[in-house]
Amino acid sequence: MDLQQRIEASKKLLAHRRYSKRGKPERSLLTLSDLTKEQVMTIIDGGISIKNNPTKYRDLLKHKSVALIFKKTSTRTRCSFEIGISEMGGQALYMDWNTSNFTIASLEDEIKTLSRYVDAIVARVHKHEDLIIMKEHSEVPIINGLSNLYHPCQALADLMTIKEYFGELEGLNICYLGDGNDICHSLINGAGHAGINISIACPQNYLPNPEILEAVQRNNNIRIRIGSDPTELVKDADIIYTDTWIPMAIWTLTDNSNEKDLRIKAFSDFQVNRELLSHAPEHALVMHCLPAHREYEITADALNSENSIVFDQAENRKHVQKYLMPWILETI
């Protein structure tokens, strides 16, 4: 081949590569509002099927690899994804953001590179905008493993757990107490999809994002109540849900005492404890996404009470994500 022929071949390859790379994936999951009601129900029911018959699904990620890139600490999300991937014959690649070159290079370049190696990427970030940048530049689906705004995988596991207990979701009442945070936002989105009424009791400065609330109210026929009196709001609750008053990003800061103290003071009337549970119907289930901070947002006796289903929630992270991954890859 003379030089001119080689140049022509190179040009051809370049043009070909531009148009034949893996292209944009059809599906990603940054927030539950990315999904339709029907898609959410399919994933929840899929999680229940996988839990009941894991063998049937054991090869669904064969020859597939999934990167898990985490900017914050994790127990449940990391372990449930890693084990779930391995149970379906795939390979999980865990990456600590802070010991990778994501710390020193552009997010665009690093995510483009990573997406050339794997079939999907799970990311836990501080800023939700980082996930949007990742989705824009990745050649493979991005799954939100927690951002400052949303935790959709947690909400999928929560809905799956509620469905296991109550059989049907529509028309139930959930009462969320505490911080109007990532968990609360995804629960609101999930409640909208599932037809669950939601009552939220938060201190004034820690209310959920009004745009998320308005969108869910606009698009769904559910009752949303915002209040500041937990005893009043739990009265008709089928489920009482709480989460940490102090986000992990603040727990892990060395100089966090001011912010921690401020929050503990602001949230002190919103604790889930035996006294509060005495105002709720006898059948009301207690939920928490974990990690919990006992004697802050929830007392140990409420967390360990006979109505607590927190460890079912934690377990169901694995089952529902096992369905979610092949669903996102469109191989199921």
Which residues are catalytic, by number? 124, 151, 154, 243, 289, 317
Q: How far is the CB of 68 from ligand NVA (least distance, A)?
A: 15
What are the residues binding ligand NVA (CB under 6 A)?
146, 151, 181-183, 243-244, 247-248, 289
* Residues touching ligand CP, count (CB under 6 A): 9
Give the one residue of 93, 207, 290, 332 binding ligand CP; rule: CB under 6 A: 290
For residue 289, state whether it binds ligand CP (rule: CB under 6 A). Answer: yes
Task: Name the CA dihedral angle for 299, 250, 315, 281, rounded to a multiple of 10 degrees.
Answer: 40
CB count within 10 Å of CB 105 equals: 11
For residue 308, state whether it binds ligand CP (rule: CB under 6 A). Answer: no
Considering only the stretches 129-137, 256-264, 272-280, 289-297, report the one whose residues sit in contact with ligand CP under the rule CB under 6 A.
289-297
Cα angle for residues 249, 138, 95 (degrees, 5° grid): 45
CB count within 10 Å of CB 148 equals: 16
> CA torsion sign, 69 to 73 to 76 to 79?
positive
Selection from ligand NVA, ligand CP, none that 182 binds (CB < 5 to 8 A by kind) is: ligand NVA
Q: How far is the CB of 175 from ligand CP (least distance, A)?
A: 19
Contact at 8 Å (CB) between 198 and 212? no
Selection from ligand CP, ligand NVA, none that 181 binds (CB < 5 to 8 A by kind) is: ligand NVA
For residue 74, state whether it binds ligand CP (rule: CB under 6 A). Answer: yes
Nearest CB to ligand NVA, comparing residues 115 and 321:
321
Residues making up the chain, counted from first to last: 332
Nearest CB to ligand NVA, comparing residues 135 and 288:
288
Nearest CB to ligand NVA, comparing residues 244 and 271:
244
Q: How far is the CB of 298 from ligand CP (least distance, A)?
A: 14
Considering only the stretches 28-36, 47-55, 68-76, 217-225, report the one whose residues sit in contact with ligand CP under the rule CB under 6 A.
68-76
For residue 291, state whether it binds ligand CP (rule: CB under 6 A). Answer: yes
The two structure tokens encoding residue 180: 């109007």
The two structure tokens encoding residue 279: 């105002």
Which residues are paired to 29 by β-bridges?
Answer: 143
Considering only the stretches 74-82, 95-103, 169-177, 208-216, report the one whose residues sit in contact with ligand CP under the rule CB under 6 A.
74-82
16-24: Cβ within 8 A, 24+ apart: 21/139, 22/115, 22/139, 22/140, 23/139, 24/139
For residue 95, state whether it binds ligand CP (rule: CB under 6 A). Answer: no
For residue 92, state whether it binds ligand CP (rule: CB under 6 A). Answer: no
Selection from ligand CP, ligand NVA, none that 247 binds (CB < 5 to 8 A by kind) is: ligand NVA
Give the one residue of 28, 138, 144, 154 binding ligand CP; rule: CB under 6 A: 154
Give the one residue of 69, 146, 169, 284 binding ligand CP; rule: CB under 6 A: 146
> CA torsion sign, 175 to 179 to 181 to 183?
negative
Pairing of strands 173-177, 239-242: parallel
Nearest CB to ligand NVA, comparing residues 32 and 183:
183
The two structure tokens encoding residue 190: 């999930």
Q: How far is the CB of 77 from ligand CP (least distance, A)?
A: 3
Backbone angles phi, psi at 168, to 5 degrees: -125, 150
DSSP H stretches of helix in the chain? 3-20, 37-52, 76-87, 107-114, 128-137, 152-166, 182-194, 210-219, 230-233, 248-251, 257-267, 274-277, 300-303, 310-328
CB count within 10 Å of CB 164 equals: 16
Residue nearest ligand CP, CB atom distance: 77
Site residues (vs ligand CP, CB under 6 A) = 74-77, 146, 154, 289-291
